[in-house]
């Protein structure tokens, strides 16, 4: 994730655990308190294509707006949250709040972003001092210090889809792998502008064409910024990024937590990754006082440090200048923003026009001052009754998960006891955090959008650095209340369910339990299940990296998860591109365990009584259809390719087909062996 909020950041930002983009519906939807029967294509057998059975008619009648790369069936809720947030921000902007207050910062940030005429009038002037600083670098020692000064807290190893930053490296501050009581510094690979290393390394025709267009884009941006010989500079920049990509670890490899467990002392950097003047780098980053770091991808640090030594200084200066311009396009003249969108929006993701500026302004405010708006959002749109109802539902699902663990026949008592302890210690945050972010170190000035973005990124970095070595807050949130999403935080052994997702169509107090448990229940179960996925299962009840499995249990778990990964490897959204089952495994485990736990939770509500029907559909059928309708998506081919390559989630079609591993689904729809999704009993993966 980028430190500054350019278009591509806003468009691509997604959460690792449950991805819900802000996208618009083509037509208003009538109020429904149950499954959306009009979205189904009942001409398709559920056992042949359950995804189209649940969503086919919606997919047929729904077009993708020109400013979007995809739309999906929960769009109405995401757009509702976005519009509500915009309304709150506009009200705050009109409130004439006290200068220096958090509310005034929101108003000044929003207004400065919306003042396009002022941005055009200033031209490139705000950028010039920073470009001059880059031009003034006269040696590799000065380069190292400047690279350190660009370090930002813009990565999250466990909750982002991408594991790179446009800066050389990225800082993540989180509980330590082996000291879960204090915040520790993690360093992650960086240096790339394209979404993933495969965009540089793949030899497919599509990727070769995309790289050629990217090089043209680099040249155009350099030319806009006033650089001569822009074509030659662009060639050198992309050659450097290609070399950086060769040192990067893949997303699938990043899912292996044990490969990330590398603690380096300060002296280890020069020994393990020679080439960069590390003392100067850490001095520039303000980290000279930190003695130990967890280095997530040692091979990338070795490779990128060597490139600092071997690559000409002028190439590094061009690379720095290009990335600087890219990061600030929304605060610069429209010609630069349009050029960036032409590549990253159109070529990379297939969108046809820019998002409205007010929407981008909302995203900027949410990112820079999200808790200020979130506190107002929660007060207005999330009642104590809604909070209590959601907490009750989560608690029932956790209780059900306890029962599932107790019933596992393959798990030894010692492993079971550890799992039960971890589940009992799980913190569940519902609606909004118990403490709010303090933005007192962030100076926002009226009419200074460039400076506001620059200072916002730096203020966040400084807040993160200030936490290093301090006691952790296990109840800390990673999302704002207005976010339509949910997350599991394994290093805190915690869950967050923001207010914005806890409303229709995901949770509807007027809908029958079958639908609520199939929709929001499966999401809640998904997040609970992350506690025991391939990542979560490596951490104990305190969030400490520790093997709490017996050898026999671990062998069984790994065999089951390998079978699930192999199943997803067979899914091919394009003839030349398959889902990577290893890359999506943690999410696939959570989908499977989540729907299983939610199904049991739904039946627990019935107390042995039959569920009410809806238009002839039984309770079990409603449950599974509601789950399938979570995933209906219309997505452009370009965006789908990007999703497959860079997202730890499988595409929606295959997430819906998780049902083929659940015995109750076969009975609910009378699925026959000759149907496409049918799996023999011994091939259905059961983990939790």
pLDDT of residue 164: 64
* Nearest by Cα to 631 from 619, 649, 613: 649
CA atoms of 18 and 21, how far apart (whole Å): 10
pLDDT of residue 504: 85
With beta carbons less than 8 A apart as the criterion, state whether 177 and 157 touch.
Answer: no
DSSP for 30-80?
---SS--GGG--TTS-TTT-HHHHHHHHHHHH----TT-SEEETTHHHHHH
In three-state secondary structure terms, 400 is: helix
Q: Which residue has the higher pLDDT, 10 or 656?
A: 656
* Run of H or E including 189: strand 183-189
Closest to 217 in 3D by CA, of 199, 201, 197, 243: 199
What was the pLDDT predicted at 260? Answer: 96
pLDDT digits (tens, 9 = 90+) for 502-555: 988 889 888 999 999 999 999 999 999 999 999 999 999 999 999 999 999 999
pLDDT of residue 17 exceeding 50: no
pLDDT on residue 163: 56
Task: Cite the DSSP H helix spans in 579-658.
Answer: 585-606, 619-629, 637-646, 652-656
Side-chain half-sphere CA neighbours of 662 within 13 A: 27
- Please tell me the distance from the alpha carbon of residue 320 to that of residue 135, in angstroms, as a whole number: 10
pLDDT, mean of residues 24-31 = 45
- Give the 3-state secondary structure of residue 123: coil
The mean of the pLDDT values for the chain is 92
| pLDDT value of position 592 | 97
In whole angstroms, what is the distance from residue 540 CA to residue 557 CA? 16
What pLDDT does 5 receive?
A: 27
Instruction: Give the pLDDT confidence of 96-148 residue by residue, as tens digits.
Output: 899 999 999 999 999 999 999 999 999 999 999 999 999 999 999 999 999 99
Token output for 619: 């309770």
Query: Long-range contacts: 79-84, Cβ < 8 Å, 24+?
Result: 79/22, 79/23, 79/24, 79/25, 81/22, 81/482, 81/483, 81/484, 81/500, 82/22, 82/359, 82/362, 84/377, 84/380, 84/381, 84/482
C-alpha dist (Å) from residue 453 to 112, 126, 249, 444, 456: 10, 11, 30, 9, 5
pLDDT digits (tens, 9 = 90+) for 394-420: 999 999 999 999 999 999 999 999 999
Please give the pLDDT value at position 4.
28
Peptide bond preceding 286: is omega within 30 degrees of 0, i.e. cis?
A: no
Instruction: Tell the burial category of 301 from Cβ atoms under 10 Å away from its Cβ (0-12, 13-18, 19+).
Output: buried
Q: Are residues 35 and 626 in contact, defined by beta-carbon separation less than 8 angstroms?
A: yes
Task: Give residue-wise pLDDT tens across range 654-680.
Answer: 999 999 999 999 999 999 999 999 999
Q: How far apart are CA 296 and CA 398, in angstroms?
A: 32
What are φ and ψ of residue 676, in 5° steps? -60, -35
Distance (Å, rounded) from C-alpha 514 to C-alpha 432?
26
- Tell me the HSE value of 221 on the side-chain side, using a 13 A CA sphere: 31
* CB 497, CB 527: distance < 8 Å: yes
**pLDDT at residue number 676:** 97
pLDDT in tens, 241-299: 999 999 999 988 988 999 999 999 999 999 999 999 999 999 999 999 999 999 999 99
Q: Which domains does the chain have, with CATH numbers?
A: 36-62+391-435+475-683 (3.40.390.10), 124-331 (1.10.1380.10)
The pLDDT assigned to 3 comes to 34
Angle, in degrees to the nearest 10, between helices 278-285 and 140-149 = 30
Q: Are 534 and 687 in contact (CB under 8 A)?
A: no
Pairing of strands 487-489, 292-295: unpaired
CA-closest candidate to residue 22, choices 70, 64, 56, 87: 70
CB 534 within 8 Å of CB 590? no
Report the alpha-carbon distance of residue 15 to residue 21 in Å, rounded: 9
pLDDT at 160 over 80: no
pLDDT number for residue 200: 97
Residues in the chain, total: 688
Compute the distance between CA of residue 238 and CA of residue 218 in angstroms, rounded to an integer. Answer: 8
Q: What angle do CA 288, 290, 294 make, to 5 degrees?
A: 125
Work out the percent of the chain whose per-residue pLDDT is above 70. 94
Over residues 607-634, the pLDDT tens digits come to 989 999 999 999 999 999 999 999 999 9
- The predicted structure's pLDDT at residue 94: 85
pLDDT at 113: 97
Predicted local distance difference test score (pLDDT) of residue 12: 33
Looking from the CA of 597 toward its CB, the CA atoms found within 13 Å total 33
Cα angle value 177/535/158 (rounded, 5°): 70
Distance CA 569, CA 548 (A): 29
R_g over Cα of the chain: 25
pLDDT tens by residue, 546-602:
999 999 999 999 999 999 999 999 999 999 999 999 999 999 999 999 999 999 999
Q: Tell me the two tokens of residue 198.
A: 């495969």
- Alpha carbons 316 and 312: distance in angstroms, whole number: 7
pLDDT at 74: 66
Q: What does the pLDDT look like over 192-212, one tens digit per residue?
A: 999 999 999 999 999 999 999
Over residues 316-335, the mean pLDDT reads 97
What's the Cα-to-Cα distance from 331 to each of 63, 128, 191, 448, rounded to whole Å?
Answer: 31, 13, 22, 9
What percent of the chain lies above the pLDDT cut of 90?
A: 88
């Amino acid at each position: 994730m980028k430190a500054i909020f350019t278009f591509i950041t806003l468009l691509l930002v997604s959460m690792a655990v449950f991805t819900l983009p802000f996208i618009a519906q083509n037509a208003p939807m009538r109020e429904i308190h149950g499954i959306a029967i009009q979205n189904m294509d009942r001409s398709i057998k559920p056992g042949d294509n359950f995804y189209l059975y649940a969503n086919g008619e919606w997919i047929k009648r729904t077009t993708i707006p020109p400013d979007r790369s995809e739309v999906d069936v929960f769009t109405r809720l995401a757009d509702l949250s976005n519009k509500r947030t915009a309304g709150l921000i506009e009200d705050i902007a009109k409130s004439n709040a006290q200068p220096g207050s958090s509310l005034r910062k929101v108003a000044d940030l929003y207004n400065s972003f919306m003042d396009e005429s002022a941005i055009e009038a200033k031209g490139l002037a705000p950028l010039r001092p920073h470009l001059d600083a880059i031009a003034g670098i006269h040696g590799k020692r000065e380069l190292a210090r400047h690279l350190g000064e660009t370090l930002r807290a813009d990565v999250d190893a466990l909750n982002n889809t991408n594991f790179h930053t446009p800066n050389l490296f990225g800082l993540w501050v989180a509980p330590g792998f082996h000291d879960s009581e204090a915040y520790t510094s993690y360093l992650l690979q960086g240096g790339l502008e394209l979404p993933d290393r495969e965009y540089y390394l793949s030899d497919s025709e599509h990727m070769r064409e995309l790289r050629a267009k990217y090089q043209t884009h680099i040249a155009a941006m350099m030319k806009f910024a006033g650089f001569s010989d822009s074509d030659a500079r662009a060639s050198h920049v992309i050659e450097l990024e290609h070399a950086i990509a060769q040192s990067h670890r893949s997303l699938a490899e990043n899912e292996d937590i044990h490969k990330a467990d590398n603690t380096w002392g300060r002296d280890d950097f020069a020994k393990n990754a020679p080439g960069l003047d590390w003392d100067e780098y850490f001095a520039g980053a303000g980290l000279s006082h930190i003695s130990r770091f967890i280095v997530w991808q040692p091979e990338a640090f070795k490779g990128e440090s060597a490139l600092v030594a071997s690559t000409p200084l002028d190439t590094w200066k061009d690379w720095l200048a290009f990335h600087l311009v890219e990061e600030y396009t929304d605060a610069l003249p429209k010609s630069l923003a349009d050029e960036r969108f032409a590549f990253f929006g159109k070529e990379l993701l297939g969108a046809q026009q820019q998002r409205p500026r007010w929407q981008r302004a909302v995203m900027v405010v949410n990112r820079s001052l999200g808790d200020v708006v979130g506190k107002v959002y929660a007060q207005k749109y999330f009642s104590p009754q809604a909070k209590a109802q959601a907490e009750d539902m989560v608690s029932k699902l956790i209780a059900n998960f306890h029962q599932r663990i107790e019933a596992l026949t393959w798990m030894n008592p010692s492993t079971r006891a550890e799992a039960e302890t971890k589940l009992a210690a799980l913190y569940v945050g519902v609606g909004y955090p118990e403490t709010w972010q303090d933005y007192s170190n962030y100076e926002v000035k009226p009419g200074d959008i460039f400076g506001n973005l620059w200072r916002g990124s730096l203020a966040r970095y400084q807040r993160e650095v200030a936490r290093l070595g301090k006691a952790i807050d296990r109840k800390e949130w990673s999302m704002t209340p207005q976010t339509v999403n949910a997350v599991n935080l394994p290093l805190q052994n915690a869950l967050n369910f923001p207010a914005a997702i806890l409303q229709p169509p995901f949770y509807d107090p007027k809908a029958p339990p079958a639908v609520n448990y199939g929709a929001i229940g499966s999401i809640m179960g998904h997040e609970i299940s992350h506690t025991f996925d391939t990542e979560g299962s490596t951490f104990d009840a305190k969030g400490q990296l520790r093997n709490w499995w017996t050898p026999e249990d671990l062998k069984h778990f790994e065999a089951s998860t390998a079978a699930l990964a192999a199943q997803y490897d067979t899914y091919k959204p394009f003839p030349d591109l398959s889902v990577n089952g290893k890359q999506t495994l943690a999410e696939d485990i959570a989908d499977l365990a989540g729907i299983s736990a939610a199904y049991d939770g739904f039946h627990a509500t019935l107390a042995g009584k039959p569920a009410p029907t809806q238009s002839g559909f039984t309770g079990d059928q409603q449950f599974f259809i509601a789950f399938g309708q979570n995933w209906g998506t219309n997505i452009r081919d370009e965006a789908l390719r990007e999703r497959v390559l860079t997202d730890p989630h499988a595409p929606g079609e295959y997430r819906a087909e998780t049902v083929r591993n659940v015995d109750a689904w076969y009975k609910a729809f009378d699925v026959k062996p000759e149907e496409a999704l049918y799996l023999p009993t011994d091939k259905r993966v059961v983990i939790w």
